[in-house]
Amino acid sequence: MCRVLGLVDRLPRLVCAQAANANPLYHYYKSGWTQFQPQVAQPTFASAIQIGDPVSVDRAVVALKATNGIVAEATEEELMNAMSLADRTGMFACPHTGVALAALFKLREEGTIGANDRTVVVSTAHGLKFSQSKIDYHDQKIEDMACKYANPPVSVKADFGAVMDVLKKRLKGKL
């Protein structure tokens, strides 16, 4: 429709990002679209995309093929690191956005997405819905996860001076 209206001259290249614990479309793509194999999805922090047998797989494949699309995956650690890195910019991202961002980072690193390519990442939810996973990440309480961008909470007295002291130490790199 946008092409018909003259708003765009071509369709963008689509990237489908899946959590590695629920990635049947990724495996289908990697097989050269030879055979789709549903799977039993494993638990993932990106719970809304914990789907092992997507009902619209055929429509997704049509869209991906029509745009020379790519399917990428993100491990639990990659998605949590990407989510936390985004939070450092002022976002309060959800794990699903973490999957998309982790895919973006991988595709940039391998050169599939160039430094000057216009890229849009769709953020589908807000981090407040996933506060416990964020707390666990920053407290480094997720088993077998390094939590590379953890920003552990600091306890202070309910006193302005105490808060300022912590901030000054943090800014000087002593905390």
Reported as a single tens digit per residue, the pLDDT across 103-146 is 999 999 999 999 999 999 999 899 999 999 999 999 999 999 99
**CB contact at 8 A, 60 and 71:** no
Give the residue from 52, 60, 108, 51 showing the smallest Cα distance to 85.
108
Q: Which CATH class is domain 15-171?
A: alpha beta
What whole-number distance in Å separates Cα of residue 125 and Cα of residue 64?
23
DSSP H or E segment with residue 71: strand 70-74
DSSP H or E segment with residue 15: strand 15-19
Q: Is the dihedral of CA 119, 127, 83, 19 positive or negative?
A: negative
Domain ranges of the chain: 15-171
pTM here?
Answer: 0.89
Q: What is the largest CA-CA distance in the chain?
A: 64
Reported as a single tens digit per residue, the pLDDT across 65-108 is 999 999 999 999 999 999 999 999 999 999 999 999 999 999 99
